[in-house]
Structure 1
């Protein structure tokens, strides 16, 4: 049964471009399906989560990460009585704006775009779903509902000034009320993202042998998970032991968010989705003890995984790829694909040109960016 504070597709604020409703799917289900079928969603298959996508077949990519986030979000939303389709749509779209090479690519583009209004991957996701996906006859973008767009823009909370230009541009045409928190559904998607990456980055770090199982077993939260596994299955195989512990850690995080959300929802007693938005603070959160323990785990991951020597070395190499391609395309727009050169002709100034180049590079997959850098710059980086 859907809660009174859940987003109701029958009361959606609609789409920027009016469309006839489907006889078989709600507006939020259609949003989810359009995201899944989007070109940008497919490209996530070859975009970095932590490791460059060709470094190993078992490491997460942005696509597998997004699927895991969608699964967690769907579970939590169902327990809390929220709209599952809207939750899943926001969860699956939350990383569409990531450029090649993950946060390394984002950092490089942020520096390169500093004179032209900067770069923000959340805002870029909005640009993709409202403009850059150009497949429909009647509009650019996916023409998603207000609720889904709001969730993508604000799943990490209200957007403060200065608002990234890619988001500000659309917001002028379709006010997403950026000063408020998002719906409970979008908040669930944000926490599902935290749960997914905290779990799978530990798993990927173990597979990459950046740290040991014994080191994980000493971390808060995980210590208890390993102890329960050892009590239930003494002498368990090394690989099964760590998998059993990590899946208990995964479940612990999900259960904590559900319990904390129930307490906060009971205290607030919202009578509509709007009251959740206007609550002044997120309703979907970790409990304070679990949040504190997660900070220790995140600090461990930062130093032992995200800044591991091999990862740092690869970050430096792929930064050269982005930093080589951006000025080249700014100077040689004839190297852009034909469909992009039409946009260049309409560019009013250097800032407009830089944003077109940004859109093109940000949409690249890891492998395509590496191939184009070697082809056009002629610099083989042994990536």
Structure 2
């Protein structure tokens, strides 16, 4: 495939923090993707959930299935825009590596616990996972990914004027040009995340019976897609109609991103990836009409799903688990496994807090619940 002049080119990559010998048939970004897939943090995404805890059903999305779906959408958009698909895919697969257990409930609890020590941000934690926490290679910590992948992870949502502490710390020794936009490939990964997130939460919410097809029929974009699905298959059962409608919504959102991005690229006329980074606004984006429709879907999901009483109960319990784990381990790091205990140092210190935070952030839902039981139930051996 011939890449656009504004695409990131593997042969002009800025390389890796720790130089490595070549001799591989893969491009640098293919190697990045493969390292991410083989990472421990990636495997753990299988048991990290978004809204529903892992034992609530086998068919709800996990961070792993979500990341795979984001990667599929990102590759499709990147190909249509003549961008480097491998870089877009690598970023899509890595974007959730820093999420703690229990979705946003776990993130909120960790952020509150870490507030005296700089807070917690899952994007910064994703960068930390691939630059420090993964321990797979003899010569360096992390995965030693290319500069372009690290840049995309750090700022795929836009320039960072006030970066999270770890991003600022890493940037001080390996500058990622935080004040500029990221590559178009990183922007594609960010939009693919938005497309996957809303549509898959609609699907999971319908599957969990938190709302019905009649409820979503009034939503812009979704209602039209549902009407088309019903007209094409009038005798289809509700679950098939839901799948047909969501398939159509995803297709329209992808088409909208491609059309709007082509319009912005034509107006900017970038001749290099540097022009993309220096642009006054992102070049990969939704149209204004799609932004409005997407906002309506988000508002619906916020009130009908994320604040549903069943979800609220789960979130409240999950937050308490994370809060208790942090409190116990920050005050008693001698209870940490040996490799973590050695790094934690003195109880109650900022350094100890950061290590405990990393330990908890890496947990799956299942492991967090088991660790909570081991630390709080006298009848369960440690």
Normalising by the smaller structure, the TM-score range is over 0.9
- The 5-angstrom pairing of residues 104-253 of structure 1 reads 104-161=105-162, 163-253=163-253
Task: Quote the residue 2:271 is aligned against.
Answer: 271
Relative to the length of structure 2, the TM-score reads 0.97
Aligned to 2:349: 350
Q: CA deviation at 1:221?
A: 0.4
Alignment deviations for residues 315-368 of structure 1 (CA, whole Å, 9 cap, x no partner):
1101110110111111211111111122124x7981111101100011000011
Separation of aligned partners in 1, 2:142 and 2:239? 44
Q: Aligned partners of 1:349 and 1:298: how far apart in 2? A: 39
SS in 2 for 1:372: helix
The aligned residue for residue 19 of structure 2 is 18
Question: Which residue is 1:362 aligned to?
Answer: 361
Contact 1:373 1:379 in 2 (8 A): no
**Residues 170-208 of structure 1, C-alpha deviation per residue, up to 9 Å, x if partnerless?**
111100011111000000000000000111100000000
Partner of 2:64: 63
Match of 2:324 in 1: 324
Distance 2:58 2:257 in 1: 31
Q: Deviations over 1:211-231 (max 9, x none)?
A: 001111221101211222222
Q: For the Cα contact (< 8 Å) 1:52–1:366, is it kept in 2? A: yes
Change (3 A) 1:217 1:22: farther
In the alignment, the residues of structure 1 paired with residue 71 and residue 322 of structure 2 have an alpha-carbon distance, to the nearest angstrom, of 29
Q: CA deviation at 1:235?
A: 2.7
Partners of 1:331 and 1:23 in 2: CA distance = 47
TM superposition shift of 1:233: 2.3
Q: Report the alpha carbon displacement of residue 234 of structure 1 after superposing the two structures with TM.
A: 2.5
Q: Corresponding residue for 1:89?
A: 90
Using the alignment, how far apart are the partners of 2:315 and 2:23 within structure 1?
Answer: 45
Q: Is the 8 A contact 2:330 2:348 kept in 1?
A: no
1:21 Cα offset (Å): 1.7
CA contact (8 A) 2:118 2:165 kept: yes
8 Å Cα contact 1:43-1:365 kept in structure 2: yes
Contact residue 49 and residue 103 of structure 2 kept, 8 A: yes
Aligned to 2:159, the other structure's residue is in SS state coil
Distance between the aligned counterparts of 1:245 and 1:38, measured in 2?
35
For structure 2, list consecutive stretches of 5 or more residues without a partner in the other structure. Answer: none
For the 8 Å contact 1:130–1:143, the answer to whether it is kept is yes
Aligned 8 A contact 2:331 2:347 in 1: no
Q: Is the 8 A contact 1:182 1:277 kept in 2?
A: yes
1:180, 1:280 within 8 Å by CA — same for their partners in 2?
A: no
CA contact (8 A) 1:77 1:185 kept: yes
Say whether the 8 Å CA contact 2:332–2:347 is kept in structure 1: no
Shift of 1:379: 9.1
Q: Confirm or deny that 1:38 pairs with 2:42.
A: no
Q: Distance in 2 between matches of 1:379 and 1:78?
A: 56
How far residue 290 of structure 1 moved from its aligned partner, in angstroms, is: 1.0
* 1:59 match: secondary structure: coil
* Alpha-carbon distance in structure 2 between the residues aligned to 1:298 and 1:355: 32
Q: Distance in 2 between matches of 1:348 and 1:206?
A: 45
Q: Does 1:371 find its partner at 2:353?
A: no
Counterpart-to-counterpart distance in 1, 2:225 and 2:297: 14
| TM-score (ref. length: structure 1) | 0.96
Q: Distance in 2 between matches of 1:365 and 1:104?
A: 13
Distance change in 2, residues 1:251/1:358 (3 Å) = same
C-alpha distance in structure 1 between counterparts of 2:65 and 2:340, whole Å: 29
What secondary structure sits across from 1:211 in the alignment? coil
Asked whether the equivalents of residues 325 and 377 of structure 1 are also in contact (C-alpha less than 8 Å), the reply is no
